[in-house]
Structure 1
Amino acid sequence: MDPMADVTAADAASMEAAGGPGAEGDALARLADAYGIEPSFVDANGATVETSDEIRRALLAAMGVDLSDVAGALARLEEEAAGRLLPPVIVARPADGRVRISLSRPVAGRWRAVAEDGAEREGAVDGGALDLGDLPFGYHRLDLQADGTATEATLVVTPGACWLPEGLTEGRRLWGVSVQLYLLKSEANWGIGDYADLVLLVEALADEGCAVVGLNPLHAQFMDAPEDASPYSPASRLLLNILNIAVPLLPEAADPDVAAWIGSDAVTDRIAAARATPLVDYTAVADLKLEALRRCHQAFRRASDPDRAMAFERFRAERGDRFERAALFLALRDHFAREEDNPDWHRWPEPFRDPGSAEVRRFAEEHRDAVDFFAWTQWVADGQLAMAADAARAGGMAIGLYRDLAVGADLAGAETWANAAAVLDGVEVGAPPDLFNPAGQSWGLPPFHPRRLREEGYRSFIDLVRANMRHAGGLRIDHVMGLQHLYCIPKGSSPREGAYLGYPVDDLLGVLALESARNRCLVVGEDLGTVPEGFRDRMADAQVLSYRVLAFEKDEETGGFAPTGAYPVLSVAVAASHDLATLKGWWQARDVQAKDALGLYPDEAEATRQRELRDRERRELATLLHREKLLATEGPIRVESFVDAAHRHLSLTTSALAVVQLDDITGEKDQVNIPATDRETPNWRRKYAETVERLATSGAFAHIARLMAERADGDAARAGGPDASGRETESG
């Protein structure tokens, strides 16, 4: 029996007034509603899509509900609600400096609160509410003994609003650059962008006044399947991708044996070959780096440097049990992938599917070196990421690194093995059909189990947020609507055959605000697609910045593109994202051409409609840029002039933060990823056209800084008229 949440007294009364379970279909609908399965949604065309009984049953079964007796399941919900005075977790925002908790019914008894630092306070209750006084922000325990019943709850006291850099709500406007780290080219990397490249990039951009460097998710990937390259389908969001480690920066790389291996002709040839490819060769990179890292780890153990050894142990102790379990998973995965060619933990021998089994404990003891190796790689990756964060601070960046949290992790990964009860097996997160993806999307990622998430006091969510705010001044949450609901598709079904599953959005925003304040890390919510009514108001109240894409921002009255003054202050203005066309690609409709060639449109009529739509939008955007005096009104529009004008438009928006893609600085034509495709296109592989060193000295960063300087003095910069540079251009 796994209801999503405790049923309230009102829920129970509603059930009783309905005269019991009634007809099975009605009872099933009410049971699904109690578990958070939404009865319908409005699609991209404005039509209401009803949730079918078949989908209800599939999702309820995935949540562990016994559907053999639907009426009985409803009755048990009521019984459970009556037996508990407090829910498992309470997220409270103080009012007038005091924390007050409403109870489900009036009671008489005593309460005791144990604060995070161990301090205790207690008091009496006689009524329907608790007044806990001025509890500090943090994670506390609340005990209530009343009417002969004892109940315990996790109490989260939150500021309610996320941290923002000084002056951001008073009109201060900042700018930054987003980068797919793995696509960086440099004169020294091993065929994939690494943390040393990131330091160079941060230093060069800081010199130009950049406030933030946005990064793709840095989550751990499967090292035995390196070609599964999407950073949005990771092995674990709690760990870092070790392929981004810059091996030459490690002290152990200077060990004579390691240095001799790296300097050998065979290895230098392999490194040069990986560096020279136009696409990231993940297999070659993984083979190189894993061998190098294993040699470096052996050197680390041989050296017995007490300071480094103690620093490593402190790191492990800091990160706690969940980190250790994730490192153990990586060792197990490596073992089963090599020994039995059986990497998915669902196919491991039965005892090894349970992290708490005696066999798993024995493996950890007998393979201590392997577990230590994977923990050590995380330590060195964390240290190198910290170097980049330090470079941002030293360069005076107001925000620094801006990380990205994927909406989920792969079902076969560390997160699901370490805490299988926290996710729904047999269900995949995705999106219903919309104008850009008419077939809908299934991302192959399992959602959190809402009930289990509440029962554990949101610990899994807290750990994710903390891990990804580490060394960051900003965090982007992919598909932020998942805090309120996720579109869930029973495994094996079409993306058209799903329903929305609800989550406690106010609680999760409260947790997010607490972690944001503690880490001094602003939060950006990627709110593209179908946004629930009122959701953006909730985001604004919590000071979560909205993610506004130039091509999607339209004027409500005219239907044309939104002028610069229409952007919300609490937002990030961007030209595009990894899933969308670059500015060059958009102007030339390369994304439309690619989708047509890949058969992603249902028929030729839709492809024609998309081409005509792009032609019209191109004219409309050009008209807006002409009106804003950012683009010349005479002669053909060159694509480079359009790119500059679009960036100047972003610069002049009223958004607190404007972020430029490195792809648009380097003039890339093709986007990083085309949704609904895998290996049909070089997704996640296309390297940038220029090396970091060349970008730092070519004037490209200085040029974008001049365009974005209009954030501080838009009128003065705009007075110079549209860019008339004579750089090589292509016609649109």
Structure 2
Amino acid sequence: MTEALDRLAASMGIEPEYRDVRGETVRAEARTKRLLLAAMGVPAEDEAAARAALERLERDAWRNPLPPVAVVYADGGPGAVEVTLPAGTHAIGWRIALEDGAERGGQAGFGSLDRLDARELDGRRLERRRLLLPPDLPWGYHRLSLDPGGATASLIVTPGRCWLPPAAAEGRRLWGVAAQLYLLQSATDWGIGDFGDLRRLTELCAARGADIVGLNPLHALFTDNPEAASPYSPASRLLLNVLNIAVAGIPEFAHCPPARALLETPAFCARLDSARAASLVDYTAVAELKLEVLHHLFAACRDAADRSRWQDFAAFREAQGAAFARSCLFLALREHFAARDPALADWRRWPAPFRDPDSPDIRRFAQDHADRVDFHAWLQWVADEQLGRAAQAAAGMEVGLYRDLAVGADSAGAETWTDQAAVLSGVQVGAPRDIFNPAGQDWGLPPFHPRALRAEGYRSFIELVRANMRHAGGLRIDHVMGLQHLFCIPSGCRPAEGAYIAYPLDDLVGILALESQRARCLVVGEDLGTVPGGFRERMAAAGILSYRILSFEQEDATGAFHPPEAYPRSALAVLGSHDLPTMRGWWEGRDIALKARYGLVTDAEAAWQRDLRARDRAMLLEALRTAGLLGPQAPDIDALSRAAHGFLARSAALLAVAQLDDLLDEPEQVNVPSTILEHPNWRRRHAVPVEALSGHPGLETVAAIFRAERGRPAG
């Protein structure tokens, strides 16, 4: 019998079962529940331990007069907060300290409030009742306090719906171009696409009437281990990738003799030329080149007689707050320990005092290595400035830059060190089996601890959303189903042994809506894979756009492609993504060949996928011909691309976005999921430099198609 274990797991949000992509019910195993509970700090090695833990949780919940946080929807009528006090309590007073410094308050008879529940605890009878709040509270982050007792709680008032550009209300449809920043090539790059290239690409797209420029995650990676290049497994999602800095675009570059001298040495020039000429990003070479010069530029800024630039940096740093400061300190610590021993790049192997961000040893390190901490913070300021300039180039667009938020960060990175209580150690996020990944997936990313997240008033989630909406008019949330639940796999287990852990969906959506409205930043949820019933409807109600990929928009039974008018209005429509083949790659079945080559599928599975692709190619041709976008003749890839983009342009989706990969007819996809060393993931550079994009037939043709169907005129 596992009755107590099952009740305990359910109380901690571990879902008892799920339906996989084949419609089969999969039940969470008792061992999985125990391992996940242990990771949450709740021991349940047997039924007795589970019963004791369950009792502790229930008692703790009744001891607190207020929950740690309440999220109230402003458009849902008067909000309410649960209040737990001894039975017989007469009048209670409440006060709300508003975000802007104002106050609201009042009194209520406790016995007159709606009663929700009651319990005997420690010889006292406690009652839980519902306190109604004023209906006209402003949006924002406030503080609620009670009298008697002085209990306090965070009170978050949200509009409930995310921001959408005015064009949405006017019935217009928008379009844009998406690019992987690191793949961009230009005459001035240092072997990797940079923020200067992004500004030029944005200017070019704006001139053609585009409304949006989509990007890969810009999160900070590991400069001491640059070959760990996946933007979806970053060091920190709160910081930017400093390898995207355009070195020559830093003001100090023009008048820094050591930097200029370095660039005039034959050896440095040869290394730079080699990095620029490479068809794949050489992350190690790029990091060495850029950091060598950036150290000189940092010193020039720090030591300049004119203190204005350094003062601007200091003001930026102060405004970013404690999480930013702690993250930069982590980077200096990792640099220090990794230089001594590469195995110490993982903070979990540091000496014990350094694993605690609040220890005296950490404070001494920050003082003794202040210059190194300053350097990492300065790099973030420079990156932020340059990203801001790229965003300014999008000022005339309806949306502008459209950033991407990864589902998690590397377990050895800054996020897990700086905020250890907020994440689950010993657990990785992944996905259950699906048609194309029959063994399931383990992404190796630690998830948030849902209870700890709520206990801290969702501070970590708020900081994360806010950091990634900076300089952006749109934000794509990778695996947006994580707002409701995440598939979690205990360390050492196979994906088949994982289970879903639930998250407070309404609270997280409410916070997302509040930050979206404040930043005037629309939200797109990547809702591919196993999507819970009713989830897409909930996202649409919150103004979160669905993410629709052409090759997935088919009838389950026949494979027929949905016509353009069947796409939901509340959506972003694309041909593919970083994890999928390009248009040419899909048509030629290159993705299937790669999976077979790398042993990701059996011969039988590869044969089945090839047969399915043959059917899908025929169905796509039928859909394009039915739409009048393709003639009866067999198309070449250019004709197919024009027709497919015309199909997207006609869709009812609010946003249609073309991938630069497809406009340039790239044959190979950027990333092959479930590979690390087998394939050069995140490295393939574009053969066409940014300077040559103007007039390029792929871009110009598709831009004209999109403008004709949904855009404003070029200019």
The answer to whether 1:93 aligns with 2:73 is yes
Q: Out of 681-690 and 550-559, give the one that drifted further.
A: 550-559
Deviation at 1:258, TM superposition (A): 1.3
Contact 1:174 1:711 in 2 (8 A): no
Number of the residue aligned with 2:612? 613
Deviation at 1:131, TM superposition (A): 2.4
Number of the residue aligned with 1:657? 655
Partner deviation per Cα, 1:248-296 (whole Å, 9 max, x = no partner): 0111112122112123222121111001001000010011011111111
The answer to whether 1:674 aligns with 2:657 is no
Identity of aligned residues (%): 56
Q: Could you tell me which amino acid in structure 1 is paired with residue 103 of structure 2?
A: E
The answer to whether 1:186 aligns with 2:166 is no
Contact 2:78 2:132 in 1 (8 A): no
Could you say what secondary structure the match of 2:182 adopts? Answer: helix
Number of the residue aligned with 1:72? 52
Number of the residue aligned with 1:291? 292
Structure 2 distance, partners of 1:697, 1:220, is 34
Contact 1:219 1:234 in 2 (8 A): yes
The answer to whether 1:502 aligns with 2:479 is no
Contact 1:648 1:710 in 2 (8 A): no
Structure 2 distance, partners of 1:676, 1:438, is 12
Number of the residue aligned with 1:176? 176
Number of the residue aligned with 2:123? none
Number of the residue aligned with 1:136? 138
Deviation at 1:699, TM superposition (A): 4.2
Number of the residue aligned with 2:32? 55
Contact 1:524 1:544 in 2 (8 A): yes
| Residues 104 and 630 of structure 1, relative CA distance in 2, 3 Å threshold | farther
Q: Could you tell me which amino acid in structure 2 is paired with residue 229 of structure 1?
A: A
Deviation at 1:143, TM superposition (A): 1.0
Q: Out of 284-293 and 548-557, give the one that drifted further.
A: 548-557
Deviation at 1:104, TM superposition (A): 6.5
Partner deviation per Cα, 1:147-187 (whole Å, 9 max, x = no partner): xx543110000000000000314421000111000010111
1:1-16 alignment to 2 at 5 Å?
none
Number of the residue aligned with 1:18? none
1:252-401 alignment to 2 at 5 Å?
252-254=252-254, 255-341=256-342, 342-393=344-395, 396-401=396-401
Deviation at 1:99, TM superposition (A): 3.8
Q: Could you tell me which amino acid in structure 2 is paired with residue 294 of structure 1?
A: H
Partner deviation per Cα, 1:9-37 (whole Å, 9 max, x = no partner): xxxxxxxxxxxxxx4x0110010000000
TM-score with structure 2 length normalisation?
0.94
Structure 1 distance, partners of 2:710, 2:24, is 44
1:334-483 alignment to 2 at 5 Å?
334-341=335-342, 342-393=344-395, 396-483=396-483
Structure 1 distance, partners of 2:636, 2:405, is 36
Structure 2 distance, partners of 1:88, 1:116, is 17
Runs of at least 4 residues of structure 1 off by over 6 A?
104-107
CA RMSD of aligned residues (A): 1.6
Structure 1 distance, partners of 2:547, 2:710, is 21
| Residues 690 and 119 of structure 1, relative CA distance in 2, 3 Å threshold | same
Contact 2:570 2:653 in 1 (8 A): yes
Q: How many residues align?
A: 686
Q: Out of 561-570 and 266-275, give the one that drifted further.
A: 266-275
Structure 2 distance, partners of 1:460, 1:500, is 21
Deviation at 1:471, TM superposition (A): 0.3
Could you say what secondary structure the match of 1:709 adopts? Answer: helix
Partner deviation per Cα, 1:520-579 (whole Å, 9 max, x = no partner): 000000000000111111101110000000000124685411000111101000000000
Structure 2 distance, partners of 1:145, 1:134, is 22
| Residues 46 and 133 of structure 1, relative CA distance in 2, 3 Å threshold | closer
- Structure 2, unaligned runs of 5 or more: 114-129
Contact 2:642 2:701 in 1 (8 A): no
TM-score with structure 1 length normalisation?
0.92
Number of the residue aligned with 1:687? 685
Partner deviation per Cα, 1:588-627 (whole Å, 9 max, x = no partner): 11111111111111x2221111000000000001001011
Number of the residue aligned with 2:646? 648
1:562-641 alignment to 2 at 5 Å?
562-601=562-601, 603-633=602-632, 635-641=633-639
Deviation at 1:300, TM superposition (A): 1.1
Number of the residue aligned with 1:544? 544
Contact 1:169 1:656 in 2 (8 A): no
Q: Could you tell me which amino acid in structure 2 is paired with residue 345 of structure 1?
A: W
Structure 2 distance, partners of 1:487, 1:520, is 31
Structure 2 distance, partners of 1:38, 1:399, is 38
Q: Could you tell me which amino acid in structure 2 is paired with residue 279 of structure 1?
A: L
The answer to whether 1:163 aligns with 2:172 is no
Q: Could you tell me which amino acid in structure 2 is paired with residue 459 of structure 1?
A: R
Partner deviation per Cα, 1:413-435 (whole Å, 9 max, x = no partner): 00000011110000000001101
Structure 2 distance, partners of 1:563, 1:216, is 28
Structure 2 distance, partners of 1:271, 1:557, is 54
Number of the residue aligned with 1:36? 13
Contact 2:182 2:244 in 1 (8 A): yes
Structure 2 distance, partners of 1:649, 1:673, is 25
The answer to whether 1:111 aligns with 2:94 is yes
Deviation at 1:584, TM superposition (A): 0.6
Deviation at 1:303, TM superposition (A): 1.2
Contact 2:210 2:711 in 1 (8 A): no
Q: Out of 693-702 and 622-631, give the one that drifted further.
A: 693-702
Could you say what secondary structure the match of 1:466 adopts? Answer: helix
Contact 2:440 2:495 in 1 (8 A): yes
| Residues 522 and 96 of structure 1, relative CA distance in 2, 3 Å threshold | closer
Q: Could you tell me which amino acid in structure 2 is paired with residue 696 of structure 1?
A: S
Could you say what secondary structure the match of 2:533 adopts? Answer: coil
Q: Could you tell me which amino acid in structure 2 is paired with residue 391 of structure 1?
A: A
Partner deviation per Cα, 1:32-57 (whole Å, 9 max, x = no partner): 00000000000111100000000000
Deviation at 1:100, TM superposition (A): 3.8
